[in-house]
């Protein structure tokens, strides 16, 4: 007799199909998706179309947008092309956001699932660890981690992931505590399914909806976090990113607004895209919101 494999009794249309249909009907979610796709195309295809080295000095410093033919969006304090920085900096910024988001979700889901499923002493211990990380000032903790090692894209991503996981852990724990007492979980336990199998194949798939929504917001927060670290001079100096552009131009914002404003606009649009996608997914996965 095979072990029960189903995660929940299927009734009517598959929940993911319903969520997908509801997401397509969400103007906020679709607008965010289109916006994010456009930014990704700009960031990943742009360097092949506009192949200008963002570190190269090409014109006089502080040239305003439209002031030079070979620098349509102007230059920074060193005479580097702002457009080249925007084009080449997008990939690094998105890499940090996605990598840090993945680290955050991995740690949070691992800690939250173990705490929520086993309960008791394991839950108590893991929640005390979570509370310890949660009360630490996230920005200061990340600054310490980056300072202890050589600032790089990888180090920044890991630092952001390490300081950002407690919220995800608490959300995962709450979902596992809610689901572990449902009938289909009890049925899987009664036929002798192993705990790791129940966690990964029975409970986790049914807890993914709020976690997917949380992941979109997590990526947006990670991008803002990277911009904050770069603004404080703790970004990777060898990897051009939008945060690095803001950080290197922060002393000249009153003399050359475009040096900080233009990368800031791209960061804003990227975070907005992820946030709108998160709103759309929240409406799609929440039946009560879907009926409004």
Residue 115: per-residue pLDDT: 95
Name the pTM for this structure: 0.87
Reading the block at residue 71, the tokens are 């620098």
Residue 291: per-residue pLDDT: 52
CATH architecture of the domain covering 33-46+73-290? Orthogonal Bundle (1.10)
Task: Tell me how far apart the alpha carbons of residues 257 and 264 are, in angstroms, rounded to a whole number.
Answer: 11
Residue 14: per-residue pLDDT: 58
Residue 239: per-residue pLDDT: 85
Map residue 75 onto helix, strand or coil.
Answer: strand
Residue 7: per-residue pLDDT: 44
Residue 56: per-residue pLDDT: 92
Reading the block at residue 102, the tokens are 């993945």
In the chain, the DSSP E strands lie at none
* 42-72 burial code (b ≥16 CB/10 A, e <16): bbeebbeebebebeeebbeebbeeeebeebe
Domain range annotation of the chain: 33-46+73-290
Map residue 5 onto helix, strand or coil.
Answer: coil
Residue 190: per-residue pLDDT: 87
Residue 288: per-residue pLDDT: 58
Tens digit of each residue's pLDDT, the chain (292 residues):
333 344 444 444 556 677 778 888 888 899 999 999 999 999 999 999 999 999 999 999 999 998 888 889 999 999 999 999 999 999 999 999 999 999 999 999 999 999 999 999 999 999 999 999 999 888 899 999 998 988 889 999 999 999 999 999 999 999 999 999 899 898 988 888 899 999 998 999 889 889 999 999 999 999 999 988 988 888 888 888 999 899 888 888 888 999 999 999 999 999 999 999 998 988 888 755 555 4
Distant-in-sequence, close-in-space partners of 204: CB < 8 Å, separation ≥ 6: 109, 113
């Amino acid at each position: 007799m095979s072990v029960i494999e189903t995660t929940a009794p299927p009734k009517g249309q598959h929940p993911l199909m319903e969520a997908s249909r509801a997401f397509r009907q969400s103007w906020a979610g679709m607008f965010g998706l289109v916006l994010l796709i456009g930014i990704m195309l700009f960031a990943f295809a742009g360097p092949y179309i506009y192949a200008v080295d963002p570190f190269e000095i090409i014109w006089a410093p502080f040239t305003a947008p439209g002031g030079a033919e070979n620098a349509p969006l102007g230059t920074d304090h060193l005479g580097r092309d702002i457009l080249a920085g925007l084009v080449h900096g997008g990939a690094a910024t998105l890499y940090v956001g996605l990598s840090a988001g993945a680290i955050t979700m991995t740690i949070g889901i691992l800690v939250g699932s173990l705490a929520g499923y086993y309960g008791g002493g394991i839950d108590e211990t893991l929640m005390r660890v979570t509370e310890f990380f949660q009360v630490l000032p996230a920005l200061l903790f990340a600054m310490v981690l980056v300072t202890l090692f050589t600032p790089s894209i990888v180090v920044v991503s890991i630092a952001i992931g390490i300081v950002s996981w407690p919220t995800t852990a608490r959300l995962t724990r709450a979902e596992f505590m809610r689901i572990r007492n449902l009938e289909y979980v009890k049925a899987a336990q009664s036929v002798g399914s192993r705990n790791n199998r129940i966690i990964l194949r029975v409970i986790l798939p049914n807890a993914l909806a709020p976690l997917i929504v949380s992941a979109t917001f997590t990526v947006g927060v990670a991008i803002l976090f990277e911009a904050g670290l770069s603004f404080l001079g703790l970004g990777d100096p060898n990897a051009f990113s939008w945060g690095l552009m803001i950080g290197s131009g922060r002393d000249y914002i009153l003399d050359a607004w475009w040096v900080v404003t233009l990368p800031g606009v791209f960061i804003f649009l990227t975070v907005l895209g992820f946030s709108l996608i998160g709103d759309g997914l929240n409406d799609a996965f929440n039946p009560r919101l879907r009926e409004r």
